[in-house]
Structure 1
């Protein structure tokens, strides 16, 4: 049972929302009760007792159901003691763990001394819970007094302030209403709002912003006036004293949502065509998402998570259908049922809805030092950065090496939030959540460790290979063994995660690492938007190198070791690690004696031949490797894991 604290009364000496007459009745003085105190210890504070008109000095007097009957034929009938000048709201939930309730009825006026309500909608539900809410509806000529009940075509908006997400975190007052609403010609029929920073600037709605994109667009500058860096003219707008979340106006003005030529979005809308947020009072969904009166349901709560985004990003409103990639074999598990305990990923982990811009990762014809910077779709996000300066070769960063980046610049800073040991609290790495093509029980890799520039070898995701202090010369591969665009700026070039991990669909399909039919969420589209046939990794031999994923960037024949005919039928994983992000031995070489098992094919280290390796600036010889493939490589080399 609940009461909604929506009372603001003129005869109220201490301004606590309880009328003086009621306080005198129960305490002897006009200021004898503290609104937030629970004098009788029944779980309802004095303000709640006033709204329900129960006795604040008697713990047997509190707002509760008096009768309850249920049949599968008619449903549930609830009865409760009602009081004059009150209205009631009835909500229902099938899950008390999440406490997500759907509204069944609101503004139900009191029929003293007893009200009843029959819920036939859930007569087939064998387990559920009802919640009753009471509110004051006395005619004091105040905002709260009028708008606690339905007034002609206008619904009881005060109820919105008890929804899952809402403005005003404490008892809503008439002054809270005035923070947004201009009341000069209030009864003329139009909603008139004023700018929180410059109150003389008015926004007059002449239509319904839920059905008119023109009307909804009027609300964007109104919303941003509070959701800027200084709230309402430098102060908190509401009585709760909280400053609104900052939504940078210039970021929004340049965002993909605001600038879309076909479907530009405003703040306010129906959630499917021209805006994301519903009533500015409160919503049954998180983040005040639209529509306000339809709660997201268990167990997936999709309507306030990925399902909300896919209302548009399924090819119906947004041109590109992102939803298709989330049904592919390897994907980010945005659906709750696919997420492991304590692990989740949502669209907003990779995209800022208010700052993301159009475009994608730019696969330029020239690889430069700036290639690892974020593309438009991931701008405006918080990320994690790592200070590697004190770490050794293949040393895992600890908590003290991490820092939060308010506005991420590089793509890896976004990926670190889920794919680093910090994201699983430096404990046991979690299992992978979709098939990886080689191992039936995969575990996630700490990419903050794997891409460390302190390692002997790696792909240049953090910085160019010339900046790897522990790597032996030559640090980068020679241009002669690289495919375009990687055959220029060797040593200074960088790459981003999307260079390997992306959709397998050709443009104009949505690009990005949402999902792929390929193992490891690998790309299959490279230059000139042509699908590659080189998708196999890591179970590939040198003689079939052209089919390996590595062949999209690396050339085989110009390398002496690879050109050796004795190696033609050897698998790549017999010499190299199978997670080629970065390693402890130069040139991503393996070591079947001491390297972690996850770096071996199928986690079996003894099928790896390499034991130790010596990097050279010249021609490799049999002495460069210690390996078990033949008697030619028996002598120990200089590097091992």
Structure 2
């Protein structure tokens, strides 16, 4: 008996030595981690532990046996593996921006060490099912407590379809990609992955080389991020999810170089362009705290702030079933009692609404009258961008960044800049037409600055990330909330009103700090560039019909049946700036002023353009969305007082935004939803409105829901058929109501 006892101790000692060697090969642990499986949830034995465990053996007190055996191990995998491997076929991760495979091609089946983890976590094999038990080489089953009735991994208290279960199932489309080759070629194709050849913390294990993010034969596996034996060095009860490096951000990042001591583990591989200094990454900006219930659900420490959660604010490496791109709770499924989504179909907006709403319950301060804009409220207005699956023509989330099409953009690094193919926008297939939050915003790059080329590095910030509407001459330069989004710039060959653009220049990439604001820059610099990628012939062959969604403008409004091409309508040639007449005195002078030489002699004809040379003599006019008009007060021989502030400050030389007209309702006399001294009220942007065409005020005197939605015989803007005050109509947000439409007043003006 003594000899048998001694032999067993020798075997266990040798086994411990082997595992120690294996652990050493994995690399010296960071000071915040310690190998102590006994005090982790991977201690499935009946032995007591310092951590609460839901799953444990009834009476078996062996700790290592659930995974390892010193004899008769499974020869197909190691080290000394004591379990069978699942024969399940998995649905693997896929997306248009997955550069480890071809466009739209899913990953291969899991392999290597990841199969070891899945032998418990896919729920196809009982947790207590081992090859060798009590020295007997025969499949045995250890009696377990806390498992499902068949002995497999439990669903968890929130449910197997949620993102808060560790029963991953065989559907891995909502789990971080595994079993793919991570090398220099992949890093170059992706554009936002660190090159493992240049990063000592990433690589294969070898004698004397112990990277903290180990690869297996150049492949990412579960153990690249997780070590099943470790816990937090200071507190065994702290939830580190067995991560080899930090689960949270310790200090706001100030450089793109990965810092193991302070950076979240995601940044060990992912080098997101524009993340450093972005709003979501900066402590002074994203300093809102999670509610106690939201922190508990996510297993975050109490009082965690958004910047500390960093990537985990929006992503979860094992997220809710149905979500895409690992978006946390990113589905349209029902919300359970815990606040978690339960299954459903992919819905990007739900991830954003968790914080950008007044009812998300995620942060202690969010929504209206806080620094976190309430966007969801606008999407609940009668007319809004058809952002939800049920509102889109396809009936599901079409949006897929990184997709490859017939455009001239490079095949590589499309996902980096959120590029979608024209076909995905609807060109050639109108059923693909859609809108999602990330069509207009890049959450890795947005900043709380007035201009898109500024940064929050060092905590520098403005009152908001929207443009300065009051304290500077008005422009069309993009603001911080649009930083790093992509758009298009139309190219024109003709100034004829019936001629559209001949091509488009795609504007993409992060501008960096203090980047040029020139419209010729390779990145997006103007708000209209974001709008025109959908609202022009870049995204369709024939303008789409009105009313294809119940939440957009119906057919028949203003006798319109389809949308128009804004890129064609906003062609603003320099040669058409200014005013007729050499002296700027209106239409009757001799010549065309800014037009140049084709129209001398006042040849407009008796009918104001019906002259044989009308194509030469008629010049275009426009709202200055793309270009200023050149029609200054001196050129027009007029006063600037016919405009409201701030549009009266630089008449003729200023530009404007699409969102000066489009967005939720604003008070009379202004396009600002909040007023001059309030940045935390209603949100800027064309998200939703109570008016047709997402306008900020009533247009043509006919409000939605009135008896005459076809606008037949309506008097027009400024008249409500009863002589009442119509100063809240759209045009008078910029044009002085008293000058144009007041029933009483000392002056009337036009132009």
Using the size of structure 2 for normalisation, the TM-score is 0.44
User: Which structure carries more strand by proportion?
Assistant: 1
